[in-house]
Structure 1
Amino acid sequence: MVKGGRFFAPREKRPVAAVYRGPVSCHYCAESVAHLMRKSPMKYKVHYLGPNEDHDISPATLSHLDVFAWPGGGDDENKDYLKVQGYTEAIQDYVKGGGRYAGFCLGAFFARGPKSNQTFFGLLPEGSYTSGERFQPGAQTSSTNDTIVLTDWTFGSGPKKGQTVKDRWQYFQDGGQFHIDKNVKGAKILGRYVYTKDPSAVIVPFGKGSVGLIGFHPEADQSWYDDYNIVNPQNISVSVSNCENGRIIAD
């Protein structure tokens, strides 16, 4: 690769994104996030980064992206992070320099945990962190099983900006909720869990960039539901999340 060359094809008119695919990402999670981003209003051109892909995560590969997304994975963020901690500095520098990070489920936990030894990628300001929704008093589910939960969604952009759609069922598996320190300026809460009113989707400024986090799985297609015999009483193909959450990393 010559200095100044591009790792990916020219952008043309479409924004460019990459999704991590490799150890600690769950089966089909990366592909589902990539599909969601391609079909989002932004219509991203999506690549994969990881140790077994054509290109791994590095300052050079990240520098070509409008958005970098980390998909869902296992249930032990502490153990899983040890396998990918070598990416921390590159991801931090990318966001601080103006990049956008989109964390889905495990990717949201990796932004920052509640304990001093759980800074993980360190993508949230001091006093802000992700913790498990199932542990919250009154949570709709206290199980780690795959299920669906009710959420409210407030559009952050587009013709419906500011409007809230209530009581949307979303695919959920031990996802996070987000604590945003009161001193953080410019943070947006786009989604909330109906039962607890805890934030389920947020955009938080970080350095010159931004961090979009979501606790449920807007990327879940019909195959996810079929695998666990889950029925969504609403049409998932036109759910708020599948239409709008592609913007969570663009607002």
Structure 2
Amino acid sequence: MRAGADLALVYRGPASTPGCPEAVADALRRGRRGLEVRFVGPREELPVEPSVLATARLYAQPGGGELRRAHRKVKRSADAVREFVRSGGGYLGFCLGGYLAGETPGFGLLPGDTDRFISSPGARPDHDGDSLVTVTWAGRRRQVFFQDGPWFDLDPARGPAEVLATYDNGLPAAVVAPFGRGAVGVVGPHPEATPDWYTDSGLPVPADVRVDAAADLTQDLVDRVLQAARP
């Protein structure tokens, strides 16, 4: 077993938006696995480099701004992240972190690529402002906070993937896929969002979003990634 099996590393830095890393970290800490969480990044005590990643079980890339600008900030870490996952680690990507799991540009961790959901046929919402999006996750319809997130364009010829959730137009909204001995879990919306995200944007708070409870969709994503990875 990999050292630090209960440690999750969350990126915080210029390729993320303030509040997004903290929300991911809180959701991971509140989960039933009791993960220890530490931040990594160019301005953090811990950098994103092989020796640091090797101490953890999970690496999480949270939401942020524009994809190409963010990729320029993290591309030096791409080889380290890929090797971490290939050798048995888990990658979690939320919104921008989901985009970065693709390859145009990104880490190239998925059997396929990503694209903007709001530009897809029949997308609702179809604008890039803060909004609610409806997904069907494990057979249950849920409303989730959304900020111009991706859908996942999977290519079965490039490898297997499990679709955990779909948008209302049928496109994949959350996916888990193997990468080497590790696993990648990505989601287009923000299941880690707490009630203040909604109220600050003037949006209604869905009944199943509670600040005092673990983010159950995030926990499902974490569980499936850890089950799929073979450290």
Q: Normalising by the residue count of structure 2, what TM-score does the alignment of the two structures yield?
A: 0.90
Moved more, 65-74 or 89-98: 89-98
The equivalent residue for 1:204 is 177
Q: Given that residues 191 and 217 in structure 2 are in contact (C-alpha distance below 8 angstroms), is that contact kept between their aligned partners in structure 1?
A: yes
Q: CA 1:138/1:120 → structure 2, altered by over 3 Å: closer, same or farther? A: same
Q: Secondary structure at the match of 1:249?
A: helix
Distance 1:92 1:233 in 2: 36
Return 5+ residue gaps in structure 2 as ranges.
none
The equivalent residue for 1:31 is 22
Runs of 4+ in 1 over 3 A off after TM superposition: none
Shift of 1:229: 1.1
Q: CA 1:56/1:199 → structure 2, altered by over 3 Å: closer, same or farther? A: same
Shift of 1:100: 0.8
Match of 1:176 among 150, 157, 174: 150
Cα deviation 1:134-179 (Å, max 9, x = unaligned): 111101111110011111111xxxxxxxxx22x2111111011111
Q: Which has the larger radius of gyration?
A: 1
The equivalent residue for 1:244 is 220
Q: Given that residues 41 and 244 in structure 1 are in contact (C-alpha distance below 8 angstroms), is that contact kept between their aligned partners in structure 2?
A: no
Letter in 2 for 1:34: A
Q: Secondary structure at the match of 1:218?
A: coil
The equivalent residue for 2:132 is 148
Q: Do structure 1's residue 108 and structure 2's residue 106 form an aligned pair?
A: no
Identity %: 34
Distance 2:208 2:181 in 1: 37
What is the CA RMSD across the aligned residues, in angstroms?
Answer: 1.7
Q: Given that residues 199 and 205 in structure 2 are in contact (C-alpha distance below 8 angstroms), is that contact kept between their aligned partners in structure 1?
A: no
Shift of 1:248: 4.3
Q: How many residues align?
A: 222
Shift of 1:233: 3.8
User: Between Structure 1 and Structure 2, which shows a larger proportion of helix residues?
Assistant: 2
Match of 2:57 among 66, 77, 91: 66
Shift of 1:240: 4.5
The equivalent residue for 1:121 is 107
Distance 2:220 2:134 in 1: 16
Q: Secondary structure at the match of 1:26?
A: coil
Q: Given that residues 149 and 169 in structure 1 are in contact (C-alpha distance below 8 angstroms), is that contact kept between their aligned partners in structure 2?
A: yes
Q: Do structure 1's residue 213 and structure 2's residue 186 form an aligned pair?
A: yes
Distance 1:73 1:233 in 2: 23
Shift of 1:227: 1.2
Q: Given that residues 123 and 206 in structure 1 are in contact (C-alpha distance below 8 angstroms), is that contact kept between their aligned partners in structure 2?
A: yes
Q: Given that residues 153 and 240 in structure 1 are in contact (C-alpha distance below 8 angstroms), is that contact kept between their aligned partners in structure 2?
A: no
Letter in 2 for 1:107: G
Letter in 1 for 2:157: N
Q: Normalising by the residue count of structure 1, what TM-score does the alignment of the two structures yield?
A: 0.83
Q: Given that residues 11 and 61 in structure 2 are in contact (C-alpha distance below 8 angstroms), is that contact kept between their aligned partners in structure 1?
A: yes
Cα deviation 1:86-112 (Å, max 9, x = unaligned): 111111111111111101000110111
Match of 1:90 among 80, 90, 95: 80
Q: Given that residues 97 and 209 in structure 1 are in contact (C-alpha distance below 8 angstroms), is that contact kept between their aligned partners in structure 2?
A: yes
